[in-house]
Amino acid sequence: MRLFPIIAAIVVGLGIYAFVFEREALVALFSSPDQTEETAKAGASDQERETQKPPVGVIAVRSTARRIDSAVILRGQTEADRQVDLRAETSGKVDSAPLRKGAFVEEGQVLCKLDPGTRQSTLAEANARLAEARARVPEARAAVPEAEARVEEARARVQEARAKLREAEINANAASRLSVDGFASQTRVAQTEAEVEGARAGIVSAEATLKAAESGRETVAAGIESARAGVESAQAAVATARKDIERLTITAPFAGLLESDTAELGSLLQPGELCATVIQLDPIMLVGFVPETEVGRVAMGARAQAELASADRVEGEVVFISRAADPTTRTFRVEIEVANEDLRLRDGQTAEIIIASDGVEAHLLPQSALTLNDEGTLGVRVVTEESRTAFSPVEMLRDTPNGVWLTGLPDEADVIIIGQEFVTDGVPVKPSFQEIGQ
Protein backbone atom coordinates (compact mmCIF):
# COMPACT_ATOMS: atom_id res chain seq x y z
CA MET A 1 0.00 0.00 0.00
CA ARG A 2 1.42 3.41 -1.06
CA LEU A 3 1.31 5.70 1.98
CA PHE A 4 3.59 8.41 0.67
CA PRO A 5 1.15 9.92 -1.89
CA ILE A 6 -1.57 10.07 0.77
CA ILE A 7 0.68 11.74 3.34
CA ALA A 8 1.96 14.19 0.72
CA ALA A 9 -1.62 15.15 -0.27
CA ILE A 10 -2.53 15.78 3.38
CA VAL A 11 0.54 17.96 3.96
CA VAL A 12 -0.12 19.99 0.80
CA GLY A 13 -3.77 20.52 1.79
CA LEU A 14 -2.81 21.75 5.25
CA GLY A 15 -0.25 24.11 3.75
CA ILE A 16 -2.78 25.62 1.33
CA TYR A 17 -5.30 26.09 4.17
CA ALA A 18 -2.71 27.81 6.40
CA PHE A 19 -1.53 30.06 3.55
CA VAL A 20 -5.05 31.14 2.57
CA PHE A 21 -6.96 31.33 5.84
CA GLU A 22 -4.21 31.77 8.47
CA ARG A 23 -1.85 33.98 6.51
CA GLU A 24 -1.58 36.74 9.13
CA ALA A 25 -0.83 34.22 11.89
CA LEU A 26 1.93 32.64 9.77
CA VAL A 27 3.49 36.02 9.03
CA ALA A 28 3.46 36.90 12.71
CA LEU A 29 4.91 33.47 13.56
CA PHE A 30 7.85 33.59 11.15
CA SER A 31 8.59 37.34 11.35
CA SER A 32 10.96 38.86 13.87
CA PRO A 33 9.75 41.14 16.71
CA ASP A 34 11.45 44.16 15.05
CA GLN A 35 9.57 43.59 11.83
CA THR A 36 6.25 43.33 13.73
CA GLU A 37 6.91 46.63 15.51
CA GLU A 38 7.77 48.35 12.23
CA THR A 39 4.55 47.09 10.68
CA ALA A 40 2.48 48.50 13.58
CA LYS A 41 4.28 51.85 13.30
CA ALA A 42 3.58 51.94 9.58
CA GLY A 43 -0.16 51.38 10.22
CA ALA A 44 -0.26 54.13 12.82
CA SER A 45 1.49 56.53 10.46
CA ASP A 46 -1.09 55.75 7.77
CA GLN A 47 -3.88 56.67 10.17
CA GLU A 48 -2.11 59.90 11.12
CA ARG A 49 -1.68 60.80 7.48
CA GLU A 50 -5.40 60.08 6.92
CA THR A 51 -6.40 62.43 9.73
CA GLN A 52 -3.92 65.07 8.58
CA LYS A 53 -5.37 65.22 5.05
CA PRO A 54 -6.59 68.71 4.07
CA PRO A 55 -10.43 69.16 4.35
CA VAL A 56 -12.47 68.61 1.21
CA GLY A 57 -14.07 71.69 -0.29
CA VAL A 58 -17.85 71.45 -0.67
CA ILE A 59 -20.69 73.86 -1.29
CA ALA A 60 -23.46 73.93 1.33
CA VAL A 61 -26.50 75.95 2.29
CA ARG A 62 -27.81 76.95 5.70
CA SER A 63 -31.41 75.70 5.66
CA THR A 64 -34.12 76.58 8.16
CA ALA A 65 -37.28 74.51 8.44
CA ARG A 66 -40.56 76.14 7.44
CA ARG A 67 -44.10 75.04 8.09
CA ILE A 68 -45.91 73.94 4.96
CA ASP A 69 -49.21 72.26 4.26
CA SER A 70 -48.61 68.61 3.62
CA ALA A 71 -50.85 67.22 0.94
CA VAL A 72 -52.31 63.95 -0.29
CA ILE A 73 -51.77 63.63 -4.02
CA LEU A 74 -53.86 61.29 -6.14
CA ARG A 75 -55.17 60.92 -9.65
CA GLY A 76 -58.86 60.90 -10.42
CA GLN A 77 -61.48 62.22 -12.76
CA THR A 78 -64.47 64.52 -12.93
CA GLU A 79 -67.96 63.12 -12.47
CA ALA A 80 -71.37 64.69 -12.97
CA ASP A 81 -73.08 65.44 -9.67
CA ARG A 82 -76.23 63.71 -10.91
CA GLN A 83 -77.09 61.69 -14.01
CA VAL A 84 -80.38 59.98 -14.81
CA ASP A 85 -81.82 58.01 -17.72
CA LEU A 86 -85.48 58.99 -18.10
CA ARG A 87 -87.51 56.01 -19.36
CA ALA A 88 -91.15 55.54 -20.29
CA GLU A 89 -93.43 53.95 -17.68
CA THR A 90 -96.32 53.37 -20.10
CA SER A 91 -96.71 52.76 -23.81
CA GLY A 92 -97.69 55.44 -26.28
CA LYS A 93 -96.72 57.39 -29.38
CA VAL A 94 -94.49 60.45 -28.84
CA ASP A 95 -96.56 63.59 -29.41
CA SER A 96 -93.88 66.27 -28.69
CA ALA A 97 -91.08 67.80 -30.76
CA PRO A 98 -87.63 66.43 -29.82
CA LEU A 99 -84.98 68.40 -27.94
CA ARG A 100 -81.40 68.02 -29.14
CA LYS A 101 -78.51 66.86 -26.98
CA GLY A 102 -76.47 69.59 -25.36
CA ALA A 103 -79.56 71.70 -24.66
CA PHE A 104 -80.01 73.06 -21.15
CA VAL A 105 -83.29 72.06 -19.48
CA GLU A 106 -84.94 73.37 -16.36
CA GLU A 107 -86.41 71.29 -13.56
CA GLY A 108 -89.93 70.16 -14.53
CA GLN A 109 -89.50 70.92 -18.24
CA VAL A 110 -91.37 68.51 -20.54
CA LEU A 111 -88.99 66.23 -22.45
CA CYS A 112 -91.36 63.62 -23.91
CA LYS A 113 -95.16 63.74 -24.16
CA LEU A 114 -97.11 60.65 -25.22
CA ASP A 115 -100.48 60.45 -27.00
CA PRO A 116 -103.20 59.79 -24.36
CA GLY A 117 -105.33 57.58 -26.65
CA THR A 118 -108.41 56.28 -24.82
CA ARG A 119 -107.07 56.93 -21.34
CA GLN A 120 -109.47 59.83 -20.70
CA SER A 121 -112.41 57.51 -21.44
CA THR A 122 -110.96 54.94 -19.09
CA LEU A 123 -110.75 57.60 -16.39
CA ALA A 124 -114.37 58.69 -16.99
CA GLU A 125 -115.57 55.08 -16.73
CA ALA A 126 -113.63 54.63 -13.48
CA ASN A 127 -115.20 57.79 -12.05
CA ALA A 128 -118.70 56.53 -12.99
CA ARG A 129 -118.07 53.21 -11.25
CA LEU A 130 -116.85 55.09 -8.21
CA ALA A 131 -120.06 57.14 -8.07
CA GLU A 132 -122.14 53.98 -8.40
CA ALA A 133 -120.22 52.24 -5.63
CA ARG A 134 -120.62 55.24 -3.34
CA ALA A 135 -124.39 55.22 -3.97
CA ARG A 136 -124.63 51.61 -2.78
CA VAL A 137 -123.24 52.44 0.64
CA PRO A 138 -126.29 54.48 1.89
CA GLU A 139 -128.64 51.82 0.49
CA ALA A 140 -126.81 49.11 2.43
CA ARG A 141 -126.82 51.22 5.58
CA ALA A 142 -130.56 51.84 5.28
CA ALA A 143 -131.25 48.12 5.81
CA VAL A 144 -129.49 48.15 9.17
CA PRO A 145 -132.40 49.57 11.31
CA GLU A 146 -134.88 47.05 9.87
CA ALA A 147 -132.48 44.17 10.57
CA GLU A 148 -131.91 45.42 14.11
CA ALA A 149 -135.70 45.67 14.65
CA ARG A 150 -136.20 42.09 13.50
CA VAL A 151 -133.53 40.91 15.93
CA GLU A 152 -135.17 42.75 18.83
CA GLU A 153 -138.61 41.37 17.92
CA ALA A 154 -137.23 37.82 17.78
CA ARG A 155 -135.59 38.26 21.18
CA ALA A 156 -138.90 39.43 22.64
CA ARG A 157 -140.61 36.34 21.25
CA VAL A 158 -137.96 34.12 22.84
CA GLN A 159 -138.56 35.79 26.21
CA GLU A 160 -142.34 35.40 25.79
CA ALA A 161 -141.99 31.70 24.89
CA ARG A 162 -139.81 31.07 27.93
CA ALA A 163 -142.40 32.76 30.17
CA LYS A 164 -145.16 30.55 28.74
CA LEU A 165 -142.99 27.50 29.39
CA ARG A 166 -142.55 28.45 33.05
CA GLU A 167 -146.33 28.99 33.43
CA ALA A 168 -147.10 25.67 31.76
CA GLU A 169 -144.61 23.85 33.98
CA ILE A 170 -146.25 25.38 37.12
CA ASN A 171 -149.73 24.34 35.97
CA ALA A 172 -148.56 20.84 35.12
CA ASN A 173 -146.90 20.47 38.52
CA ALA A 174 -150.06 21.63 40.36
CA ALA A 175 -152.32 19.32 38.32
CA SER A 176 -150.05 16.38 39.02
CA ARG A 177 -150.21 16.95 42.82
CA LEU A 178 -153.98 17.46 42.83
CA SER A 179 -154.48 14.25 40.91
CA VAL A 180 -152.69 12.31 43.65
CA ASP A 181 -155.25 13.48 46.22
CA GLY A 182 -158.11 13.00 43.77
CA PHE A 183 -158.80 16.70 43.28
CA ALA A 184 -157.79 16.74 39.57
CA SER A 185 -158.58 14.35 36.79
CA GLN A 186 -156.08 12.61 34.59
CA THR A 187 -157.42 14.58 31.69
CA ARG A 188 -156.39 17.82 33.36
CA VAL A 189 -152.91 16.45 33.99
CA ALA A 190 -152.51 15.39 30.39
CA GLN A 191 -153.71 18.80 29.23
CA THR A 192 -151.16 20.67 31.33
CA GLU A 193 -148.35 18.42 30.14
CA ALA A 194 -149.42 19.10 26.56
CA GLU A 195 -149.25 22.82 27.30
CA VAL A 196 -145.65 22.37 28.59
CA GLU A 197 -144.60 20.65 25.39
CA GLY A 198 -146.26 23.34 23.34
CA ALA A 199 -144.39 26.03 25.31
CA ARG A 200 -141.12 24.25 24.67
CA ALA A 201 -141.89 24.07 20.95
CA GLY A 202 -142.64 27.79 21.04
CA ILE A 203 -139.16 28.49 22.51
CA VAL A 204 -137.49 26.46 19.77
CA SER A 205 -139.46 28.34 17.12
CA ALA A 206 -138.68 31.74 18.73
CA GLU A 207 -134.93 30.92 18.95
CA ALA A 208 -134.94 29.86 15.29
CA THR A 209 -136.58 33.17 14.39
CA LEU A 210 -133.90 35.00 16.43
CA LYS A 211 -131.09 33.21 14.62
CA ALA A 212 -132.64 34.07 11.29
CA ALA A 213 -132.91 37.73 12.31
CA GLU A 214 -129.29 37.82 13.47
CA SER A 215 -128.20 36.14 10.24
CA GLY A 216 -130.10 38.78 8.33
CA ARG A 217 -128.33 41.49 10.32
CA GLU A 218 -124.93 39.92 9.49
CA THR A 219 -125.95 39.82 5.84
CA VAL A 220 -126.75 43.53 5.98
CA ALA A 221 -123.36 44.23 7.61
CA ALA A 222 -121.64 42.17 4.93
CA GLY A 223 -123.52 44.18 2.32
CA ILE A 224 -122.16 47.38 3.86
CA GLU A 225 -118.60 46.04 3.81
CA SER A 226 -119.10 44.91 0.23
CA ALA A 227 -120.30 48.38 -0.72
CA ARG A 228 -117.29 49.94 0.97
CA ALA A 229 -114.94 47.49 -0.80
CA GLY A 230 -116.59 48.44 -4.05
CA VAL A 231 -115.89 52.10 -3.32
CA GLU A 232 -112.22 51.38 -2.55
CA SER A 233 -111.87 49.29 -5.70
CA ALA A 234 -113.41 52.05 -7.78
CA GLN A 235 -111.10 54.63 -6.15
CA ALA A 236 -108.09 52.43 -7.00
CA ALA A 237 -109.26 52.22 -10.60
CA VAL A 238 -109.58 56.02 -10.75
CA ALA A 239 -106.09 56.49 -9.23
CA THR A 240 -104.61 53.99 -11.70
CA ALA A 241 -106.23 55.77 -14.65
CA ARG A 242 -104.99 59.18 -13.43
CA LYS A 243 -101.47 57.86 -12.80
CA ASP A 244 -101.37 56.35 -16.27
CA ILE A 245 -102.31 59.76 -17.69
CA GLU A 246 -99.58 61.43 -15.58
CA ARG A 247 -97.00 59.01 -16.96
CA LEU A 248 -97.74 60.28 -20.46
CA THR A 249 -95.63 63.37 -19.64
CA ILE A 250 -91.92 62.81 -18.87
CA THR A 251 -90.25 65.85 -17.29
CA ALA A 252 -86.71 66.75 -16.19
CA PRO A 253 -86.18 65.88 -12.47
CA PHE A 254 -83.55 68.62 -12.11
CA ALA A 255 -81.91 71.38 -14.12
CA GLY A 256 -79.12 70.10 -16.33
CA LEU A 257 -77.90 69.27 -19.80
CA LEU A 258 -79.29 66.76 -22.25
CA GLU A 259 -76.69 64.10 -22.90
CA SER A 260 -78.85 62.56 -25.66
CA ASP A 261 -81.65 63.63 -27.98
CA THR A 262 -85.14 63.16 -26.63
CA ALA A 263 -87.38 60.57 -28.30
CA GLU A 264 -88.36 61.47 -31.87
CA LEU A 265 -91.84 62.76 -32.70
CA GLY A 266 -94.13 59.91 -33.77
CA SER A 267 -91.98 57.11 -32.35
CA LEU A 268 -93.61 54.46 -30.17
CA LEU A 269 -92.28 54.14 -26.65
CA GLN A 270 -92.79 50.99 -24.64
CA PRO A 271 -92.32 50.76 -20.85
CA GLY A 272 -88.59 50.92 -20.08
CA GLU A 273 -87.52 52.57 -23.33
CA LEU A 274 -85.29 55.66 -23.14
CA CYS A 275 -86.74 59.14 -23.48
CA ALA A 276 -83.58 61.15 -22.65
CA THR A 277 -80.47 61.31 -20.45
CA VAL A 278 -79.98 64.36 -18.23
CA ILE A 279 -76.79 65.23 -16.33
CA GLN A 280 -76.07 67.95 -13.79
CA LEU A 281 -72.59 69.51 -14.02
CA ASP A 282 -72.94 72.35 -11.51
CA PRO A 283 -71.50 71.54 -9.08
CA ILE A 284 -69.22 68.87 -10.51
CA MET A 285 -67.41 66.20 -8.53
CA LEU A 286 -63.74 65.30 -8.52
CA VAL A 287 -63.46 61.62 -7.67
CA GLY A 288 -60.24 59.91 -6.58
CA PHE A 289 -59.17 56.87 -4.58
CA VAL A 290 -56.88 57.29 -1.55
CA PRO A 291 -54.59 54.45 -0.35
CA GLU A 292 -55.38 53.03 3.07
CA THR A 293 -52.02 54.33 4.34
CA GLU A 294 -53.05 57.95 3.69
CA VAL A 295 -56.82 57.95 4.16
CA GLY A 296 -56.36 59.10 7.76
CA ARG A 297 -54.82 62.35 6.49
CA VAL A 298 -57.96 63.30 4.54
CA ALA A 299 -60.73 65.10 6.45
CA MET A 300 -64.23 66.22 5.57
CA GLY A 301 -64.27 69.84 4.43
CA ALA A 302 -60.55 69.85 3.58
CA ARG A 303 -59.59 72.17 0.75
CA ALA A 304 -58.39 70.57 -2.46
CA GLN A 305 -56.94 71.67 -5.77
CA ALA A 306 -56.83 69.83 -9.07
CA GLU A 307 -55.13 70.27 -12.41
CA LEU A 308 -57.05 68.76 -15.32
CA ALA A 309 -55.56 67.25 -18.44
CA SER A 310 -56.75 70.41 -20.24
CA ALA A 311 -54.44 72.47 -17.92
CA ASP A 312 -57.44 74.00 -16.11
CA ARG A 313 -56.98 74.48 -12.37
CA VAL A 314 -59.93 74.20 -10.01
CA GLU A 315 -60.53 74.29 -6.26
CA GLY A 316 -63.12 72.68 -4.01
CA GLU A 317 -63.61 70.87 -0.73
CA VAL A 318 -63.97 67.25 0.32
CA VAL A 319 -67.64 66.29 0.74
CA PHE A 320 -67.40 62.49 0.94
CA ILE A 321 -64.91 59.90 2.22
CA SER A 322 -65.86 56.26 1.79
CA ARG A 323 -66.04 54.11 4.93
CA ALA A 324 -65.54 50.89 2.98
CA ALA A 325 -62.42 50.08 0.94
CA ASP A 326 -62.53 48.76 -2.59
CA PRO A 327 -62.08 44.99 -2.16
CA THR A 328 -59.63 44.79 -5.07
CA THR A 329 -57.41 47.87 -4.69
CA ARG A 330 -57.88 48.50 -0.93
CA THR A 331 -58.41 52.20 -1.64
CA PHE A 332 -61.12 54.57 -0.41
CA ARG A 333 -63.30 56.74 -2.65
CA VAL A 334 -63.06 60.50 -2.04
CA GLU A 335 -65.36 63.10 -3.63
CA ILE A 336 -64.56 66.80 -3.93
CA GLU A 337 -67.26 69.32 -4.83
CA VAL A 338 -66.19 72.02 -7.32
CA ALA A 339 -68.28 74.95 -8.57
CA ASN A 340 -68.90 74.81 -12.33
CA GLU A 341 -71.26 77.68 -13.08
CA ASP A 342 -70.03 78.21 -16.63
CA LEU A 343 -70.16 74.42 -17.32
CA ARG A 344 -66.54 74.59 -18.45
CA LEU A 345 -65.71 71.27 -16.81
CA ARG A 346 -67.00 68.09 -18.39
CA ASP A 347 -67.81 64.66 -17.08
CA GLY A 348 -64.90 62.16 -17.25
CA GLN A 349 -61.88 64.52 -17.44
CA THR A 350 -58.63 63.22 -15.90
CA ALA A 351 -57.36 65.27 -12.96
CA GLU A 352 -54.38 65.35 -10.62
CA ILE A 353 -55.82 66.13 -7.20
CA ILE A 354 -54.00 67.65 -4.22
CA ILE A 355 -55.86 67.49 -0.90
CA ALA A 356 -54.53 69.73 1.88
CA SER A 357 -53.60 68.06 5.16
CA ASP A 358 -52.11 69.16 8.51
CA GLY A 359 -48.97 71.29 8.21
CA VAL A 360 -45.45 69.96 8.91
CA GLU A 361 -41.98 71.44 9.35
CA ALA A 362 -39.90 70.89 6.19
CA HIS A 363 -36.81 72.15 4.34
CA LEU A 364 -36.80 73.38 0.75
CA LEU A 365 -33.59 72.09 -0.87
CA PRO A 366 -32.31 71.53 -4.42
CA GLN A 367 -33.04 68.07 -5.71
CA SER A 368 -29.32 67.66 -6.44
CA ALA A 369 -28.65 67.58 -2.69
CA LEU A 370 -30.25 64.15 -2.41
CA THR A 371 -27.99 61.10 -2.19
CA LEU A 372 -28.04 57.46 -1.09
CA ASN A 373 -26.02 55.75 1.63
CA ASP A 374 -24.53 52.27 1.39
CA GLU A 375 -27.86 50.71 2.41
CA GLY A 376 -29.74 52.60 -0.31
CA THR A 377 -31.51 54.98 2.07
CA LEU A 378 -32.47 58.38 0.63
CA GLY A 379 -31.00 61.33 2.47
CA VAL A 380 -28.61 64.29 2.44
CA ARG A 381 -25.13 64.93 3.82
CA VAL A 382 -24.85 67.66 6.42
CA VAL A 383 -21.90 69.50 7.93
CA THR A 384 -21.55 68.92 11.68
CA GLU A 385 -20.24 71.41 14.24
CA GLU A 386 -16.79 69.76 13.93
CA SER A 387 -16.84 70.52 10.15
CA ARG A 388 -17.19 66.85 9.31
CA THR A 389 -19.82 65.15 7.14
CA ALA A 390 -22.74 63.08 8.38
CA PHE A 391 -25.53 61.32 6.53
CA SER A 392 -29.11 62.22 7.52
CA PRO A 393 -32.08 60.23 6.14
CA VAL A 394 -35.00 62.32 4.86
CA GLU A 395 -38.51 61.87 3.49
CA MET A 396 -39.60 63.76 0.41
CA LEU A 397 -42.98 65.47 0.73
CA ARG A 398 -43.39 67.39 -2.49
CA ASP A 399 -41.51 68.24 -5.67
CA THR A 400 -41.71 71.86 -6.86
CA PRO A 401 -39.96 73.93 -9.57
CA ASN A 402 -37.87 75.57 -6.81
CA GLY A 403 -36.73 72.31 -5.20
CA VAL A 404 -38.04 69.50 -3.02
CA TRP A 405 -39.60 69.74 0.42
CA LEU A 406 -37.92 67.32 2.83
CA THR A 407 -38.60 66.24 6.41
CA GLY A 408 -36.34 64.39 8.85
CA LEU A 409 -33.77 67.16 9.38
CA PRO A 410 -33.43 69.36 12.48
CA ASP A 411 -34.91 72.85 12.43
CA GLU A 412 -31.56 74.26 11.24
CA ALA A 413 -29.05 72.30 9.18
CA ASP A 414 -26.01 72.95 6.96
CA VAL A 415 -26.71 70.76 3.95
CA ILE A 416 -24.10 69.94 1.30
CA ILE A 417 -25.55 70.56 -2.17
CA ILE A 418 -22.38 70.11 -4.26
CA GLY A 419 -19.67 67.55 -3.45
CA GLN A 420 -21.72 65.23 -1.26
CA GLU A 421 -21.00 62.31 -3.58
CA PHE A 422 -17.22 62.59 -2.99
CA VAL A 423 -17.21 62.36 0.81
CA THR A 424 -18.27 59.81 3.41
CA ASP A 425 -19.28 60.09 7.05
CA GLY A 426 -16.64 61.66 9.28
CA VAL A 427 -14.58 63.22 6.46
CA PRO A 428 -13.41 66.77 7.28
CA VAL A 429 -14.80 69.36 4.88
CA LYS A 430 -14.41 73.04 4.20
CA PRO A 431 -17.89 74.27 3.24
CA SER A 432 -18.55 77.32 1.13
CA PHE A 433 -22.03 78.57 1.89
CA GLN A 434 -24.41 80.09 -0.63
CA GLU A 435 -28.03 81.11 -0.71
CA ILE A 436 -30.55 78.75 -2.27
CA GLY A 437 -31.25 79.80 -5.82
CA GLN A 438 -27.75 81.16 -6.58
pLDDT tens digits for range 187-236: 776 777 788 788 888 888 888 888 888 888 888 888 888 888 888 999 99
Report d(CA 344, CA 276) in Å as an integer: 22
d(CA 202, CA 160): 9
Paired sense of beta strands 429-433 and 56-64, if any: parallel
Ramachandran category for residue 345: left, alpha or beta (phi over 0 → left; psi -120 to 50 → alpha): beta
Q: Is the pLDDT of residue 142 over 50?
A: yes
Please check whether residue 415 is in contact with residue 431, taking contact to mean a CB–CB distance below 8 angstroms. no
Of 83 and 2, which is predicted with more confidence?
83
Handedness of CA 310, 311, 317, 318 (dihedral sign): positive
What's residue 241's pLDDT? 92
Contact 274, 263 (CB under 8 A): yes
What pLDDT is stored for residue 280 in this prediction? 92
Give dist(CA 43, CA 33) in Å, integer: 16
| Helix (H/G/I), strand (E/B), else coil: 141 | helix
Residue 36 has pLDDT above 90, yes or no: no
Q: What is the DSSP string of 238-259?
A: HHHHHHHHHTTEEE-SSSEEES
Calculate the average pLDDT of the chain: 84
Is the pLDDT reported for residue 311 higher than 60? yes
Coil, helix or strand at residue 22: coil
DSSP 297: G
pLDDT at 17: 63
Write the pLDDT tens digit of every residue in 40-71.
555 445 445 545 568 888 889 999 888 876 77
Which domains are present in the chain?
4-51 (no CATH), 56-68+361-433 (2.40.420.20), 119-246 (1.10.287.620), 277-358 (2.40.30.170)
Q: What distance in Å separates the CA atoms of residue 427 and residue 58, rounded to the nearest whole number? A: 11
pLDDT at residue 258 greater than cutoff 90:
yes
pLDDT in tens, 230-253: 889 999 999 999 999 999 999 999
The pLDDT, as a whole number, for residue 164 is 82
- pLDDT bin (cut points 50, 70, 90) of residue 438 is very low
pLDDT of residue 247: 92
Paired strand residues for 393: 379
Alpha-carbon gap, residue 388 to 386, rounded angstroms: 5
In sequence order, the β-bridge partners of residue 396 are 406
What percent of the chain clears pLDDT 90, i.e. is strictly above it? 35
Using CA atoms of 359, 362, 364, 367 in order, give the dihedral in degrees to the nearest 10: -110
**Residues 410, 415, 420, 424, Cα dihedral to 10°:** -40
Is residue 82 scored above 70 in pLDDT? yes
Q: State yes or no: pLDDT of 296 exceeds 90.
A: no
pLDDT at residue 434 in the model: 82
